[in-house]
Structure 1
Amino acid sequence: MANQARPLLRLKGHELVPADNDRQVEIGVFDVLLPCRKYEVSYKVAVLGKVSQSLEFLLRIVKAVPGIAEESAAAFFGFEQAEIAYILNEATGPGFVERREGRLWLTSAGEALFREGTDDPAIYTVEERNRDLGFDLLAIAPQAPRSMDSVELALPELPLVDPAGTGRVANRIFDRFSRFFHELAERRDREQIQQRDLYSVDRVVPKDRFQVPVRIRAFAQASAPSVPEIDLGSWRAEHEIADRPQIESAAAMLVDDLKTNSTLINAPQAYEAMAELAPDFLKEFITRVGMNVNRYWREAVGRAGEPRADRKTIPIIGPLYSESNAKRFSEVVEYGLRGVAEQPELLLSLAPQSRLWGATTQLRDTLFYLRRRIAAIAPTSSAEIRAVCLFPGKASRFIERTFDEVHNADISGVPPALEIMIVPHIAVAALVHAPIGASSGYAVPLGWASFDENVVARTQAFVADRLWPFVRDRDLHNQFATALQPRQKADRET
């Protein structure tokens, strides 16, 4: 008797995420500037229209019966002598019909009136157009300019493969304009009953350059979180993205270039610091050699949920400012505001040393939303809540324009992969940006958000102890330190 195949034994815990729990998770969001340029395009359109009904009848029978006698054509339609004479003049004047010995034939011009695939004759006239049109400089596809705010103007730019090739781009407009003609056609052309086709593109003149933001969202399977895939669906519809593969490739290269190594960013130290801030929440993931990140990832993927009164700390996967996490953190803040009569003076963000962190208007919008929610729940102060960023190294312009204040430090003493957000005395979040499931790859944000008083107090103390490299002005340092000092419980209950 043949031996039956034995089932494969899988040891629980060795998989990053079991197949039945695998799902797609958002691990990044970036806004980047697409380089574009306006071009003055001179072109002609063929305006197609119907011939008169009487002439149509004549042309159709002459096409069907070449050489038909004039009397037979008149008798077929019941035309009187005066009527057939008028119609024949209408047909022979432009050279559509030839009369020979009392019989009728279509000329080549008459044959051309019957376009391929139609039985109806049509005439056309050629009209000139001159328009300023925008095209991106990667896919050479239509892109309308739009106004941008101060944060958008400072965003990073998608790189040009050939930044000096502007002249060659202008030459390519001839073909690309034809490719996208019906998308680019003027509204009056689209709304006319008459059909308009492109007749020729005569001249293309380069004009001003401009840029437009493109949102890139990065996703990954939970089973392979450090291998990102990009999604441009927030920018354009799928069929339009298919016409712009060069932009999709450039976006994929930009995200792929963000890969890093856990050793270079000292990820173990960052996880250790995060665990020390919320020891009760992470105690089951702490081993003798440090935090079991893979196990916490697996648990976070399976149980990431909303905060509750009896669930003061929740897992966070992906950027804190992604739409879903921004909503989740605002709910954490709302729980933390219960019983608090005094508004915080500031929102304090300790940035990670992660390339392109905050390169999106979504961070600016998240800060604005948090401030608005806090003001609505605890409207006890007329002063606006300041958004402050502690940034290791030199902050990019988009960071400077996102926050009200940015304080830099050459050497911070904070693990490079660690990010912290503090709403003083109300709520905190901590995330580590590092590859998961591999020693190198995309740095996936993983952490928690909490309104637990003890977690909030530890996190505030952690940042307060490391303020000096960022804030060296003594008065300002004392102001921040005071804002982060723990409050007495009686104060909170007042």
Structure 2
Amino acid sequence: MGKLSRPLLRLKGHELVPPEEDRRVDLDIFDVLLPCRIYEVSYKVASLGQVSPTLEFLLRLAKAAPGIADEEAAAFFGYSQTEMAYVLEEAIGPGYLERRAGKLWLTISGEGLFKADDEQPSIYTVEARRRSFGFDLMAIAPQVKRFLDELERLLPELPSEDPAGTGRVAERVPARFKQFFRELADQADRGKTERRDIYSIDPVVTPGERYQMPLRFVTFAQASNPSAAEIDLSSWRMDHEVADRPEIERAVALFVKDQQTSAAHLDAASGYQTLIDMAPEFLKEFTTRNGLSEIRYWREAVSRAGEPRTDRKTIPIVGSLLLPGNIERVQAVLDYGLRNVTEVPVNIYAVAPQTRRWGATTQQRDLLTLIQEKTALILPGDKPDMKSVCLYAWDKPAQYTAKTFDEIQVVRVGDFPKSLELLLVPGVMVAAIVHAPLGASTGNPVPLGLASFDPLVIDRAYAYFLERYQFYQSKGRPD
């Protein structure tokens, strides 16, 4: 579970990777907001308690031999007259047994202690309760509310079929409450050890406060068909929990499908050429007269994406820079790069690719914070803290992007290839990624590029960046 099932596509005669080398490749990571609402539910629970062993044996005997005489029961258990009187009081006092003419009979209440197909008597107490529970507005499944920071509140929201959170959703709450009762009861009655079962639910529930909760997921694909993205929700919930929430899985799948585009629209060729211009030595084996052989580079990068070393200053990057594994690689590149500089960089520069929902995750903020804190630790100084500056080629950046970076500089659409993403710490490191469908003319963008602490690569990248950035430093906003 946690992904969309589909047949694996094999490309006959010109596979992107040989069948024996096919594997899962993580592509991107997103945090989206799940619309939720608090509902007040009235219900009754039956709390189960066990009778004492002596009472249990006596009730079982009376059930098996209705009308047994007192003396016969005492002899059966080997009780004295005093002991038998004590046990009888435990049974007759609450009304489980009655004595008629020296014989013992189960009452209706006593019969009720025996559940169907159960020879063991149990005591139930029914309690009425009215409590508030959070449910998402898609699957109508439990969703605990927690505080969101300012960035989290700006993340994109999954669309809901019932934006008002009432009507059909409220009607479904009682049935879903019953399905998830064990989970909800554990939340509401934490610390109580007795077993509880749902007894009844009021069909009328009262809607309360709306709220949102972050949902993190990863997109991935097979190396043989990278532009056909699938979804993995395992970082949000376990597989069996995802299976209980198919509506959310479908909504996430549509969210991912909405990002499909074409290589031509993103000007992928220009993006790949920029990689060559920055790191021609590293990419020489994959460079032809027509530019980068991105398929060959993909095959190589998937098979040998590794860690930087002193003798391996540039490494391939597959997937978003914000994937946990790639954040670790960027950190390692940063560590090596910081060994070679003595002056604290003023800024971290980023160029946003012109793809939908780029950077829609708190991982973007965490990566920038990591770079700032590591640089300040290794290169302490009296200079102001490094600022993060993002060059954004749309009229208005997404709110989460504006909140993530210290400064946004809007540039013209044609200043950078639409597919290109840059992360640049001048003098220290650079990461350059092309986001474009791979192995197909249309599909989900496949991040593919490199990261480097090689001074030559960094200098070329910085010169390329400054050539476009300095125009705005002197002119202000683009026309």
TM-score (norm 2): 0.91
2:270 matched residue in structure 1? 269
1:211 matched residue in structure 2? 212
The CA deviation string for residues 46-91 of structure 1, in whole angstroms up to 9 with x for no partner, is 1222334443232110111123233322332345556656655654
Amino acid aligned to 2:450: W
* SS state at 1:465 partner: helix
Q: How far apart are the structure 2 equivalents of 1:411 and 1:258?
A: 18
* SS state at 1:380 partner: coil
Q: How far apart are the structure 1 equivalents of 2:187 and 2:316?
A: 50
The CA deviation string for residues 310-347 of structure 1, in whole angstroms up to 9 with x for no partner, is 22211111111211111112222222222311010000
For residues 79-478 of structure 1, the aligned pairs below 5 Å read 79=79, 84=84, 87-88=87-88, 91-92=91-92, 94-164=94-164, 166-186=166-186, 189=189, 191-202=191-202, 203-393=204-394, 394-467=396-469, 471=473, 473=475
* SS state at 1:160 partner: coil
Q: How far apart are the structure 1 equivalents of 2:370 and 2:187?
A: 38
Q: How far apart are the structure 2 equivalents of 1:232 and 1:325?
A: 19
Q: How far apart are the structure 2 equivalents of 1:101 and 1:337?
A: 97
Distance 1:472 1:230, change over 3 A: farther
Distance 1:417 1:67, change over 3 A: same
* SS state at 2:167 partner: helix
1:64 matched residue in structure 2? 64
Distance 1:312 1:85, change over 3 A: closer
Q: How far apart are the structure 2 equivalents of 1:377 and 1:52?
A: 69
**Shift in Å, 1:136:** 0.9
Q: How far apart are the structure 1 equivalents of 2:455 and 2:256?
A: 37
Q: Is the CA contact (8 Å cut-off) linking 1:411 and 1:469 kept in structure 2?
A: no
* SS state at 2:15 partner: coil
Q: Is the CA contact (8 Å cut-off) linking 1:412 and 1:466 kept in structure 2?
A: no
Decide which moves more: 46-55 or 438-447.
Answer: 46-55
Amino acid aligned to 2:457: V
The CA deviation string for residues 354-396 of structure 1, in whole angstroms up to 9 with x for no partner, is 1111000001101111111112222234410101100110200
**Shift in Å, 1:434:** 0.3
The CA deviation string for residues 145-175 of structure 1, in whole angstroms up to 9 with x for no partner, is 1111111110001111232452222222211
Q: How far apart are the structure 1 equivalents of 2:446 and 2:72?
A: 83
Q: How far apart are the structure 1 equivalents of 2:430 and 2:161?
A: 42
CA RMSD of aligned residues (A): 2.4
Amino acid aligned to 2:284: K
Q: Is the CA contact (8 Å cut-off) linking 1:431 and 1:445 kept in structure 2?
A: yes
Decide which moves more: 106-115 or 355-364.
Answer: 106-115
**Shift in Å, 1:468:** 5.5
Q: Is the CA contact (8 Å cut-off) linking 2:318 and 2:449 kept in structure 1?
A: yes
Q: Is the CA contact (8 Å cut-off) linking 1:412 and 1:469 kept in structure 2?
A: no
Q: Is the CA contact (8 Å cut-off) linking 2:137 and 2:165 kept in structure 1?
A: no
* SS state at 1:185 partner: helix
Decide which moves more: 263-272 or 85-94.
Answer: 85-94
Q: How far apart are the structure 2 equivalents of 1:335 and 1:89?
A: 82
Decide which moves more: 258-267 or 124-133.
Answer: 124-133
Distance 1:162 1:57, change over 3 A: same
**Shift in Å, 1:100:** 4.8
Q: Is the CA contact (8 Å cut-off) linking 1:359 and 1:398 kept in structure 2?
A: yes
Decide which moves more: 55-64 or 193-202.
Answer: 193-202
Distance 1:457 1:194, change over 3 A: closer
**Shift in Å, 1:459:** 1.1
* SS state at 1:369 partner: helix
The CA deviation string for residues 415-442 of structure 1, in whole angstroms up to 9 with x for no partner, is 1111111101221111110011111111
Q: Is the CA contact (8 Å cut-off) linking 2:28 and 2:322 kept in structure 1?
A: no
Amino acid aligned to 2:280: P
Decide which moves more: 312-321 or 45-54.
Answer: 45-54
Amino acid aligned to 1:360: T
Q: Is the CA contact (8 Å cut-off) linking 1:34 and 1:213 kept in structure 2?
A: yes
Q: Is the CA contact (8 Å cut-off) linking 1:341 and 1:380 kept in structure 2?
A: no
| Residues paired across the two proteins, number | 466
Q: How far apart are the structure 2 equivalents of 1:400 and 1:375?
A: 23
1:480 matched residue in structure 2? none
Q: How far apart are the structure 2 equivalents of 1:466 and 1:146?
A: 43
Q: How far apart are the structure 1 equivalents of 2:79 and 2:338?
A: 90
**Shift in Å, 1:472:** 5.6
Amino acid aligned to 1:192: K
Q: Is the CA contact (8 Å cut-off) linking 2:340 and 2:428 kept in structure 1?
A: no
Q: Is the CA contact (8 Å cut-off) linking 2:301 and 2:318 kept in structure 1?
A: yes
Q: Is the CA contact (8 Å cut-off) linking 1:390 and 1:470 kept in structure 2?
A: no
**Shift in Å, 1:98:** 4.9
Consecutive unaligned residues of structure 2, counting only runs of 5 or more, are: 1-10
Q: How far apart are the structure 1 equivalents of 2:382 and 2:314?
A: 28
* SS state at 2:417 partner: coil
**Shift in Å, 1:129:** 2.2
Q: How far apart are the structure 2 equivalents of 1:94 and 1:106?
A: 12
Q: Is the CA contact (8 Å cut-off) linking 1:342 and 1:381 kept in structure 2?
A: no
**Shift in Å, 1:101:** 4.8
1:492 matched residue in structure 2? none
Q: How far apart are the structure 2 equivalents of 1:342 and 1:321?
A: 27
Distance 1:81 1:280, change over 3 A: closer
Q: How far apart are the structure 2 equivalents of 1:12 and 1:88?
A: 83
Q: Is the CA contact (8 Å cut-off) linking 1:412 and 1:470 kept in structure 2?
A: no
Q: How far apart are the structure 2 equivalents of 1:229 and 1:91?
A: 63
**Shift in Å, 1:128:** 2.4
* SS state at 1:458 partner: helix
Decide which moves more: 274-283 or 258-267.
Answer: 274-283
Consecutive unaligned residues of structure 1, counting only runs of 5 or more, are: 1-10, 478-494
Q: Is the CA contact (8 Å cut-off) linking 1:333 and 1:427 kept in structure 2?
A: yes
**Shift in Å, 1:414:** 1.3
Q: Is the CA contact (8 Å cut-off) linking 1:391 and 1:470 kept in structure 2?
A: no
Amino acid aligned to 1:42: S
Q: How far apart are the structure 2 equivalents of 1:231 and 1:106?
A: 57
**Shift in Å, 1:276:** 1.5
